[in-house]
Amino acid sequence: MNHRRALRAAVTIAVTGALAAGMTMTLTSTASAGTTLRASAAEKGRYFGAAVATGKLSTSVYATILNREFNSVVAENEMKWDATEPQQGRFSYTGGDRLVSHAQANGMSVRGHALLWHQQQPGWAQGMSGSALRNAAINHVTQVATHFRGKIHSWDVVNEAFADGGSGGRRDSNLQRTGNDWIEAAFRAARAADPGAKLCYNDYNTDGINAKSTGIYNMVRDFKSRGVPIDCVGFQSHLGTSLASDYQANLQRFADLGVDVQITELDVMTGGNQANIFGAVTRACMNVSRCTGITVWGVRDCDSWRGSDNALLFDCNGNKKAAYTNVLNALNAGPAIPTDPPTDPPTDPPTDPPTTPPPGTGGCSASVSLNSWTGGFVATVKVTAGSAGTSGWNVGVTLASGASVTNTWSATATGSTGAVRFANVDYNGRLGAGQVTEFGFQGTGSGAGITPTCTAS
C-alpha cells in the first residue's frame, strides 16, 4: 500500500448491507482481558500491528502509542524497492534497519512490505523489461530477504498483482510481462533467501468473495498443489462505510487451503459505522483459527494516507476512539489460536483427479499464450496431462526465422533457435490425469506461429 497514491476503489466496498451475523456474535472470553491491543492479541496467540513511518518515531505521542499498543510493525515505505535499491545493485537499508531495531527493542515482530510491486519501483527498474527485469527482480528479492534474514515474521513477497474488475486475472505490468510465473519465481527466491519467514501474497479489494479474490484463491490453490512456497495471504481491508457480508467466509476459504490469513492494512472511513466495522473485522479474524494477526495502516488519524477520512483507532492527540474500544473488546472476547492446529488439508480438493489415474491412452497436450512487442516476446505454455498422467513431459516448438530463446523458467531448454525442446524440471513433471502446469520462455524476434507439441513419459 502507498500512502501517497489517491484513494482507490478499495475504499468503497462492493457488497453493502448488514454485517454477517456470524461476524457480530459475542464470544465468551477464554483468558484474562488484556488492557492494550498488543496484550490482548498476544494472549490469543496473535499480533496486532501498525504501519510505521520511521521519521515519526521521534514524535513522543506517536512513539508512546506505538510502543504501548502494538506488538508488530510494518514499514510504510522504507522496505519497498525504490527505498532499498535506489540504484541497480546498490542497496540501502537505513530505514528498514531502524524499524527492525525499534521492533527488537520493544518486543515487536516485523512484517516485511514489499519485495515486488508494480508501483514504487526505482526509475532504473521502470525502464527495464524482459529477462533483464526478471533477473533484476529476482536478485532484488534475494538480496533484500537475505539482508533481513531471521528478522522478519512475514514478507509480502508480491503486492497487488491482480487486476480490479470482473476478470479475476493478473494486472498488466512490466513484471507480469516477464512471464506469468514471475510470482512463483519470486516466492521460490524468497524461500531460499530466508527460510524462516512466512511468505505472503498481499492485495486490496479482496474483502469478500468476488472475481479478484477468487483469482487469487485459484493461484494460491495452484501454488499449494505444486509445492510453490506460499504460507499466507494478506487482505488489505481499506474499508468504507460498510463491510462485505461474506468477509469472514472469504478469509476461511483461504485458510482451508492450508495458508495463514492476515489483515494487513486495515483502516475504515469515519462515520457512524466506523467502530462497528473495526469490531466486525476483528471478530472475523478471531473466528478464523488461521488468522494470525491484524495490522492497521498507521497509528493516529493524522498519520493516515487517507487524510480527512480519520480512518484509524486514535485521534491526532493520541486519544482512543470508539473503534479502539470495539477492537479491544473483540480481541478479549475471541478464541485463542489452537495450540495444536489441524493438519493442512490435502493440496488438491476432492474434485481433483484421483491419485491413481484411470486407464487411458496417456499423453499430454500443450497450448501457448504470447505477450509480444517489437523485437521480442514472452511465451507462457500450459501443459495438460492426458488420462494416464505423466512422470515427465517434453514440449517442442519451432521458432520463426530470426527468433531466438533468451530465457526459460519452470523448464529446461535444448536449443535456442529453430526447433527448440523444453523438458520439465524436478517439481512439475509428475502430473495426475488432467492436471495442468505452466512454463515460460522469452525470446527475441517474432513469436508468431508458435505451435507447441507435447510428449509425455
Predicted confidence (pLDDT) per residue in 254-275, tens digit? 999 999 999 999 999 998 899 9
Mapping DSSP to helix (H, G, I), strand (E, B) and coil, where does residue 274 land? helix
Amino acid at 249: A
Q: What is the CA radius of gyration of the chain?
A: 23
Residue 267, Cα to own-chain centre: how many angstroms? Answer: 18
Mapping DSSP to helix (H, G, I), strand (E, B) and coil, where does residue 212 land? helix
Distance of alpha carbon 219 from alpha carbon 233, whole angstroms: 11
pLDDT at 439: 79
pLDDT at 219: 96
Q: Name residue 379's beta-bridge partners.
A: 370, 441
pLDDT at 369: 80
Beta strands in 170-254 (DSSP E): 198-203, 232-235, 238-239
Place of cell 456470524: 22
pLDDT at 406: 80
Distance of alpha carbon 243 from alpha carbon 222, whole angstroms: 28
Phi-psi category of residue 367: left, alpha or beta, with phi > 0 → left and psi -120 to 50 → alpha: beta
Place of cell 527492525: 100
What angle do the packed helices 274-286 and 247-255 form, to 10 degrees?
20
Mapping DSSP to helix (H, G, I), strand (E, B) and coil, where does residue 89 land? coil
Give me the residues of the chain with pLDDT under 70, please.
Answer: 1-32, 339-362, 371-374, 409, 427
Identical fold between 37-333 and 364-456 = no
Domain 364-456 is in which class?
A: mainly beta
Amino acid at 324: Y
Cis peptide before 114 (omega within 30 of 0): yes
Mapping DSSP to helix (H, G, I), strand (E, B) and coil, where does residue 281 land? helix
Q: What topology does CATH give the domain 37-333?
A: TIM Barrel (3.20.20)
Mapping DSSP to helix (H, G, I), strand (E, B) and coil, where does residue 252 land? helix
Distance of alpha carbon 329 from alpha carbon 284, whole angstroms: 13
Mapping DSSP to helix (H, G, I), strand (E, B) and coil, where does residue 288 land? coil
Buried b (16+ CB within 10 A) or exposed e, 211-242: bbbebbbebbbbbbbbebbbbbbbbbbbbbbb
Query: pTM for this one?
Result: 0.71
Whether residue 265 lies in the annotated active site = yes
Distance of alpha carbon 83 from alpha carbon 105, whole angstroms: 23
Amino acid at 119: Q
Catalytic member of 69, 160, 265, 438: 265
* Count of other CB atoms within 10 angstroms of residue 195: 12
Distance of alpha carbon 106 from alpha carbon 93, whole angstroms: 20
Contact of 237 with 250, CB cutoff 8 Å: no
* Count of other CB atoms within 10 angstroms of residue 261: 24
Burial of 91 (0-12, 13-18, 19+ CB in 10 A): middle
What residues does each domain of the chain span? 37-333, 364-456
Contact of 142 with 91, CB cutoff 8 Å: no
Amino acid at 444: T
pLDDT at 138: 96
